[in-house]
A and B are shown apart, each in its own frame.
Chain A
Amino acid sequence: MTEIWQGFVKAIELIVSLDPEVMDVAWRSLRISAASTILASLICIPIGGLIHFRSFRGKRILINIIQTFYSFPTVAIGLLVFLMISRAGPLGFLGILFTPTAMILGQMVLITPILLGLTISALSGVDKAIRDTSISLGATEFQAIWAIIKEARYAVMAAVTMGFGRAISEVGCALMVGGNIRGFTRIMTTAIALETTRGELELAIALGIILISLALIINVALNIIQQRYT
């Protein structure tokens, strides 16, 4: 018990004193997850809009498949991405394995189903009359999709927030494709995993506190967004 308490006190000290290593790792975590969330959103929101907007054969099944992938194990995604971008893999020529770029790619793959699925269900909540109205006012297909997305903006923002939450809190994929290289691909979760096994509990607890605070902030934000939305 004293060990935990001491670890906790030291962790707080690390945070308050803005320990360079803790800050560096936390900042990198934020940067990488933000990049992957923004990039994945830029891809997924329009595609989600298109899937919602168009009717085609197998749409229901596609949506079911997307939803199944919500909780796909992160290590499985990590393995998949590793095999793709390893030198011996089909995308090996890019030479991005064990770089932040690879981690961004991995997280993008990881959160794509959530972003797609939640975007689609967010858009389904929009009155069909909005779509008819924008089309009848002369909108093109993409302008109409954009109008629908704007109508559902709070729910879409909630989807993006969820995606970010999953991206920043996952460890399996980041470890496999990032390699947890100190000062380069070490992020909060991989650092916690490593420092715990090494017995460097203060650092692990400090990062854990930051990560939990972040999760808390995200959740509060999500709640506020949803309250405004409903």
Chain B
Amino acid sequence: MIWWRPKSEGEFQIVKEVHFWTTSKERERERERERERERKMKKIILLTVLALLLAMSLVAIGCPAPQVVPDEPAAVPLRAALERMRVATTTSLYDTGLWAHLEPMFEEEFGVELDILYAGTGIALEWGRRGDVHAIATHARAREEKFVAEGYGVERVVFAYNYFLIVGPADDPAGIKGLSPEEAFKRLMETGAGRFVSRGDDSGTHGKEKAIWREAGFDYEVVRDAEWYIEAGRGMGPTLVMASEEQAYTLADMGTFLAFKADLDLVPLVTEGDILLNVYSVIAICPERRPRTNIKMANNLIDFLTSPATQRLIGLYGVEEHGMALFTPAAGMDGK
């Protein structure tokens, strides 16, 4: 169907003339105002976004205000503004709970927030080398001495020691009970009876284990290929738990063993031998090598650990719970 109503020409003309004179000028002004508004909007949006990002970052950085320890509520509001000091410690010290015991005392005395990072000696040393921590507390003499010699550490300060021990299942399939550490390892290698769980994490304990294998006359690379040899790749606590599960032998530090003993199905088998001595020392990171380090606080920590009061506390730590001390205070003693 085709049908149309042509529009009158006149109507079209009038429309054209009446409206456009007035509106086009108004429109021009309106557009100018719009552009102005838009410029303002852009600025506002940009500023808002920036302010938002800034605020969030501040919140993020400011959010540390920790409220863990319920018995010192008064300190909470102040803490956000406190100085922070960072120490990397070996897992054997951390897992015994010694650090958690000493931390509040140090923080109170020096008005600092002590951040304790736990890791194997290898990683702790690496963090120190990179300048990510201000002090390290480890137990691997040779590597510590090398660390100081390379200029990363100021000085190796001994503050405690205890002994390593070889633990294993009560039935002792390889029959190592009462032997010297070197003899015991020889026995393990020769009989191949029972299994051995190694830390396998480049920690101080792992280093000690390798040293014993060397003293016993074996190449560590050969030992680790043995079928009965398991590398856990974890901290002292988990390694002990694993050895208990597997009913295997392992080398452990006295402190951690005592701290975990209740949950373990393991008994001490080899406890005597010079090589089993386990010396803990603390090293401040050298400010000449790593300028951003907090050497003042690192020195405070060393002074704190070697002070008579703290030394006494270290000597008493664990007596109540385990019936014997986990560590022997050793401030002022040299390396061995």
Contacts and interface: CB of A to CB of B under 8 A. Distances in A.
Given A35-B60, A42-B52, A98-B117, A182 B132 contact: no
B235 A87 contact: no
Contacts of B118: 180
A24 B238 contact: no
B132 A32 contact: no
Contacts of B38: 140
A104 B57 CA distance: 9
A204 B38 CA distance: 54
Contact of A38 (B56, B131, B260): B56
Contacts of B222: none
Nearest to A197: B238
B260 A199 contact: yes
Contacts, number: 87
A96 B61 CA distance: 9
A21 B66 CA distance: 10
B216 interface: no
B1 interface: no
A39 B58 CA distance: 12
A219 interface: no
B131 A92 contact: yes
Interface string A66-91: 00000000000000000000111100
A88 B131 contact: yes
A20 B67 contact: yes
Contacts of B86: 98
A125 interface: no
Interface in A145-162: none
Interface in B218-277: 234-235, 237-238, 241, 260, 263
Contact of A199 (B56, B113, B263): B263
B130 interface: yes
A20 B71 CA distance: 11
Interface string B90-128: 000001000010010000000001011110000000000
B64 interface: yes
A87 B67 contact: no
Contact of A197 (B66, B129, B237): B237
Given A87-B130, A181-B117, A101 B100 contact: no
A198 B238 CA distance: 7
Contact of A179 (B53, B115, B238, B241): B115
Contact of B64 (A39, A89, A92, A184): A184
Interface string B15-41: 000000000000000000000001000
A199 B237 contact: yes
A98 B115 contact: yes
Interface in A98-122: 98-101, 104
Given A198-B237, A199-B260, A86 B132 contact: yes
B59 A35 contact: yes
B237 A35 contact: no
Contacts of B74: none
Contacts of B241: 197, 199
A73 B197 CA distance: 28
A42 B237 CA distance: 42
A203 to B, nearest CB: 12
A20 B70 contact: yes
Given A42-B52, A42-B53, A182 B292 contact: no
B69 interface: yes
Nearest to B68: A183
B290 interface: yes
A146 B133 CA distance: 45
Given A86-B130, A198-B95, 16 more contacts: A35-B60, A42-B49, A42-B52, A42-B53, A86-B131, A88-B132, A98-B115, A140-B38, A180-B118, A182-B116, A183-B66, A184-B113, A184-B115, A197-B237, A197-B238, A198-B237
